[in-house]
Amino acid sequence: MSGSPLGKRVKTALDETRLLILGAQVLFGFHLNGAFQKEFSNLAMHARVLHAVSFLMMAAAVALLIAPSLQHRIVEQGRATTRIIAATTLFAAAALFPFALSLGIDLYIVIGHRFGATLGAVIGIAFALTAVGGWYGAEWAMRRPQPEEKPMQDEPDTPIDVRIEHMLTEARVMLPGAQALLGFQLAVMLTDSFGELPHASKVIHVISLCCVSLAVILLIAPASFHRIAFDGQNTESFHRLGSALVLAAAVPLGAGLVGDLYVAVTKALDRPSLGLALALAAFAMLVALWLVHPLMLRAKSAR
């Protein structure tokens, strides 16, 4: 459906982001779930601190991977532009670094706990370096000079079919990770450790659970509206409605991520102040990447 070369490149960039976001959200969910496992209390304090740092890194990776979709909705209103392709490439590349570090830290924690810190450190460092080398080094080494070609022009009048395809793809970027996180949130509530949480942490987790549930509902809604209300037809009114639903879903999804970060870090370190500090850092990062930066770009574009 993405008929033009530029439209196809935007779709490809979004699809590649979808490959990354589910793994990032699953690892994010592991950090939440891991803090409630029975063996977690037996971890050394430095391992718990690393767990909290790794959790924040995965929050950063998730924020970076979702940012291009929200920029595309807010800045371009779904139009195919060379700017959104470059932004998607930049954000995806930036997200891979905290992803790789978090993976190495998590391997160190779980393997070190069972087989000793030395083996855990060796495996964790080895896989972190492998990830960085496989995601950055090998690509740069194989990169070839690009042949001279005519620069692609933006599409101020991107066809409605292409814009709707991009909008639905962006909903699919966010949905699988939100669903995976929802599963982890539900499972946590059935653990013995959850019953031992302070009342405030329990309330925050329930609020986060409801926020992610709302985000899932909003992200599924465009496909439902397209089939039932619009009979599968691509119209401007459906594009506006779907875009509004995708943007609206980012609000409860971000709130759910921040709330769970607070609950898990507070549980891991038994320090509500540290949990609050990391949660506020994640909140500021999400607001900057998902709202402030896109609005600044939109204002600049309007000028």
What Cα–Cα distance (Å) separates residue 171 from each residue in 161, 254, 300? 16, 15, 26
Identify the domain containing residue 171 by its residue range.
5-302
Q: What is the pTM of this model?
A: 0.88
Query: What local confidence, expressed as pLDDT, does residue 131 receive?
Result: 92
Of residues 123, 90, 15, 102, the one with CA closest to residue 57: 102
Q: Give the count of alpha carbons within 13 A of 238, CB side only.
A: 24
Query: What local confidence, expressed as pLDDT, does residue 157 receive?
Result: 75
- Mean pLDDT of each 10-residue bin along the chain, 303 residues long: 73 86 84 88 91 93 93 90 91 93 94 93 95 82 61 69 91 87 91 90 95 96 92 92 95 94 92 92 95 92 76
Query: What local confidence, expressed as pLDDT, does residue 176 receive?
Result: 82
The answer to whether the beta carbons of residues 121 and 112 sit under 8 Å apart is: yes
- Looking at the structure of the chain, the number of domains it has is 1
